[in-house]
Chain A
Amino acid sequence: MPDRAECEAVVRQLWPFIDGVVSETQREFIVDHLEQCEPCNSHFDFARAFLEAVHEARPHFHVGQGLNERVMAALAGAGYRA
């Protein structure tokens, strides 16, 4: 089991790692750690599940019909034909 200091270093990079913006060296280090450390791995899984849920909430953010119509009307005024 890796030591606490290593766990903390790994968890500090949780969001950048999940977003894929860490360096290759960091990435390998974190991947290795997560394979051996279930507590850290579970933190990362929880964060991924969270992000997935947020992404899946997308249908709740469709622009209002009003705005849609306004834009289409403006486009039509500019010569746009659907």
Chain B
Amino acid sequence: MPSSSTDDSPRSDRDSAFTATALPHLSTIARVATALTGDAADTEDLVQETFLRAYRHWHTFQPGSDCKSWLATICRHTFAELRRRENRSVAVDDQELESLAAARVHSTARAKGVDDMFARLDLGPAIAKAIRALEPHYRDVVLLVDVDGFSYEEVASSLEIPVGTVRSRLYRARRHLQEALLDFAIDAGYASPSYTLPPNHPGERRNA
């Protein structure tokens, strides 16, 4: 909202030009925004942001040129930017959900009596098999980070993907692996809530 107390002549010119030239395209831009977002609430946000930016950058508008196209361009750029921002926050949230999933796998493992499976069993062959079964995107990242010990950044630059993508894939891969190993331990007959492992028998195999 322009403040009336600071109204001076240039400000008024700008406001009246904006009112006469930009605002009449509001409905058109709303249709552009609807086409982009496909969602009523998002459309309103996008239209609002588009006109705010247009107003702030009004000095870059060439008088006499096509204002509708100029606004539509701002609208598209704004949409792309908002979407990028949204994807980023979704990605971060996704990573946190993978962390929660890891805790859930642990709870299941405990309920099934296999929460000490990493100490108790030689899971090497099962881990290798589970990693090979991953989709290549996941497999490569988990091999490089968890097996070979590269940093997120090193993997990001060698695979030419963003660090956030490395993390998302890595955490997802870990979840798949944990679930596969849990299934393996249960299927192999180690699961038994009532079964208590004799002490000092870490490699003991016992089938149900």
Contact = CB atoms under 8 A, between A and B. Distances in A.
A28 B143 CA distance: 29
Q: A8, A16, A40 — which one has the most chain B CB atoms within 10 A of its CB?
A: A16
Nearest to A49: B118
Contacts of A61: 128, 131, 143, 147
B138 interface: no
A12 B100 contact: yes
A11 B85 CA distance: 24
Contacts of A19: 152
B143 A50 contact: no
Nearest to B115: A46
A50 B178 contact: yes
Nearest to B146: A54
B153 to A, nearest CB: 10
B130 to A, nearest CB: 9
A52 interface: yes
A52 B128 contact: no
Given A43-B106, A53-B118, A55-B146, A15 B131 contact: no
B100 A15 contact: no
B134 to A, nearest CB: 12
Nearest to B145: A19
A15 B124 contact: no
22 contacts: A11-B100, A12-B97, A12-B100, A13-B96, A13-B99, A14-B99, A14-B102, A16-B99, A19-B152, A40-B103, A43-B106, A47-B102, A47-B106, A50-B174, A53-B123, A53-B124, A54-B142, A55-B146, A59-B124, A60-B124, A61-B128, A61-B131
Interface of A: 8, 11-16, 19, 21, 40, 42-43, 46-47, 49-61
Interface of B: 95-100, 102-103, 105-107, 109-110, 115, 118-119, 123-125, 127-128, 131, 142-143, 146-149, 152, 167, 170-171, 174, 177-178, 181
